[in-house]
């Protein structure tokens, strides 16, 4: 197979780092990706991203600060290529990275679901690495790190992609890797080498902030059982020692409170020994400067209780989620237009040819009568292609309202597939805009449509989705929707699934 036959897209989640510009330029090379997707995960960006011009399609999608798992999902759902390569926005790739990626992917059998790059973390010369820097070096050789990881699209469809319940860059990549392997795929090492910068700007509190990852460990245990570390090659943790340290310290404080001197002395000695051992393990490999030693002593005393707190909170959160009642009734139902609300007529220009699907009028009337907002979210690339004029589009939409009643919001994307907009489904732009127009969070909305792009747009925005297949819906779209959303045989059934029975 030649390089030109390897079809891949590149997805880069970002929080707006300055290094993004250089990275985009580095992947805009030959052999060219089918698309570069930037997943903007800034919660409320005040300005657009500073991006260089590219020779290939560049698309920006939004994930609204929901974390790297949600950003990567938003990114790959905006692609159509056989392979999706994920890069972190702070890595550095060589000038021939695209060629190296293609060589890694060429000839891989269909059971290989992903190709992992080899990471390089350069350390400052002439000094021992700090504790913070050593944490970064653990990425070297670690399994399934998504700093540079190419997934086969079929593997992402089978697994549903990243689990967005992992809110930070920790364990979400191991979770997807393990689910990919359990789905029958293998993950192989490639020969390409990507440079990950060493972290050195987090300050003395960085090791304390890192303890929040213990909550993600709780989710991994809930999903995969007590052997999850072995299954993901995560290595042994310190939860047991931290628990002993915290227990000894707690008993010592309680003994002091009730004036049990000997018990207090014994347990405080145990606490001190565990804390000193932990501190020494962190001090000895480091630069041993006064500042570093002081930081290690302070944080080694603080880390065990913080780690245990986050782990307990994670366990509580996981159990609460497992016991959560079914989702509340949505406050808005959004509809795709062609093939969902009305019969699909490609590039419809004549209002007289508008024909609602069976039951559409009654279904919408019931929703309105029960105070549930209704809206339309529709791709109309015929305008960009010159096949429909804006006036014709407006006339057709007016006819739809005349037949089916008024909608609370209309969101229409008139761009073409290669225009790189953030509104065209499967991007989340129109779903998010509809929710904003209705004054609702996206989670209170459900989108009903007939394609995988409808499902992906809803999920990326944080809304729910129901697929109503028709003759044009691909089987793969139906199969995936049964896993990540839901499927209904017709419009009325989709509404019943979404909101329950209405009077």
**Measured CA angle at 478 (ends 477, 484), to 5 deg:** 85
Which residues are CB-neighbours of 428 under 8 A, at least 6 positions away? 61, 62, 63, 74, 422, 442, 457, 458, 460, 461, 462
Cα 136 to Cα 33: distance, rounded to the nearest angstrom:
29
Cα 211 to Cα 306: distance, rounded to the nearest angstrom:
6
Res 2: pLDDT: 45
Q: Is the C-alpha dihedral spanning 311, 220, 235, 15 positive or negative?
A: negative
What CATH superfamily is the domain 332-499? HAD superfamily/HAD-like (3.40.50.1000)
| pLDDT averaged over 10-residue windows placed end to end, the chain, 503 residues | 73 94 95 93 83 92 86 86 96 96 95 96 89 90 94 88 90 95 95 88 83 94 92 91 96 94 95 96 94 95 96 90 67 96 94 95 92 94 94 95 94 90 90 92 94 93 93 86 86 90 71
Query: Residue ranges per domain, the chain?
Result: 3-201, 203-324, 332-499
Cα 67 to Cα 274: distance, rounded to the nearest angstrom:
35
* CATH 3.90.550.10 fits domain 3-201: yes
pTM, 2 dp: 0.73
Between the two ends of the chain, the Cα-to-Cα distance in Å is 59
């Amino acid at each position: 197979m030649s390089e030109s036959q390897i079809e891949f897209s590149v997805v880069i989640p970002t929080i707006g780092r300055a290094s993004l510009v250089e990275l985009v330029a580095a992947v805009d090379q030959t052999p060219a990706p089918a698309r570069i997707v930037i997943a903007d995960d800034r919660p409320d960006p005040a300005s657009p991203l500073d991006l260089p011009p590219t020779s290939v399609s560049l698309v920006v999608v939004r994930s609204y600060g929901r974390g790297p798992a949600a950003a990567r999902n938003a990114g790959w759902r905006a692609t159509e290529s056989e392979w999706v390569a994920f890069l972190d926005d702070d890595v550095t790739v060589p000038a021939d990275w695209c060629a190296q990626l293609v060589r890694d992917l060429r000839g891989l059998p269909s059971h290989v679901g992903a190709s992992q790059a080899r990471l390089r973390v350069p350390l400052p010369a002439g000094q021992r690495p700090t504790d913070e820097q050593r944490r970064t070096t653990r990425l070297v050789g670690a399994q399934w790190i998504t700093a540079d990881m190419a997934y086969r699209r079929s593997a992402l469809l089978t697994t549903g992609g990243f689990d967005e319940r992992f809110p930070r860059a920790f364990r979400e990549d191991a979770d997807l890797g393990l689910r990919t392997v359990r789905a029958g795929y293998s993950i192989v090492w490639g020969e390409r080498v990507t440079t990950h910068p060493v972290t050195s700007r987090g300050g003395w509190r960085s090791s304390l902030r890192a303890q929040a990852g213990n909550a993600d460990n709780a989710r991994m245990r809930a999903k995969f059982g007590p052997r999850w570390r072995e299954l993901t090659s995560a290595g042994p943790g310190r939860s047991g020692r931290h628990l002993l340290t915290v227990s000894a310290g707690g008993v010592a404080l309680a003994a002091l409170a009730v004036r049990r001197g000997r018990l207090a002395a014994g347990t405080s000695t145990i606490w001190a020994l565990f804390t000193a051992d932990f501190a020494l393990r962190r001090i000895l490999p480091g630069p041993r400067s006064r500042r570093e030693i002081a930081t290690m002593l302070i944080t080694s005393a603080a880390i065990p209780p913080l780690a245990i707190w986050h782990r307990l909170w994670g366990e509580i959160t996981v159990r609460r989620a497992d016991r959560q009642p079914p989702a509340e009734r949505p406050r808005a139902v959004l509809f795709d237009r062609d093939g969902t609300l009305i019969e699909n007529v490609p590039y419809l220009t004549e209002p007289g040819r508008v024909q609602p699907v069976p039951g559409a009028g009654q279904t919408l009337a019931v929703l309105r009568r029960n105070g549930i907002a209704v809206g339309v979210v529709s791709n109309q690339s015929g305008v960009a292609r010159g096949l429909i004029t804006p006036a014709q589009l407006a006339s057709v939409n007016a006819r739809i309202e005349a037949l089916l009643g008024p909608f609370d919001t209309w969101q229409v994307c008139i761009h073409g597939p290669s225009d790189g907009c953030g509104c065209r489904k499967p991007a989340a732009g129109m779903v998010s805009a509809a929710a904003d127009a209705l004054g609702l969070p996206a989670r209170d909305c459900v989108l009903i449509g007939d394609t995988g792009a409808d499902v992906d747009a809803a999920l990326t925005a944080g809304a729910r989705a129901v697929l109503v297949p028709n003759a044009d819906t691909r089987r793969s779209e139906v199969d995936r929707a049964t896993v990540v959303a839901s499927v209904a045989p017709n419009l009325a059934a989709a509404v019943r699934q979404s909101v329950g029975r209405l009077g």
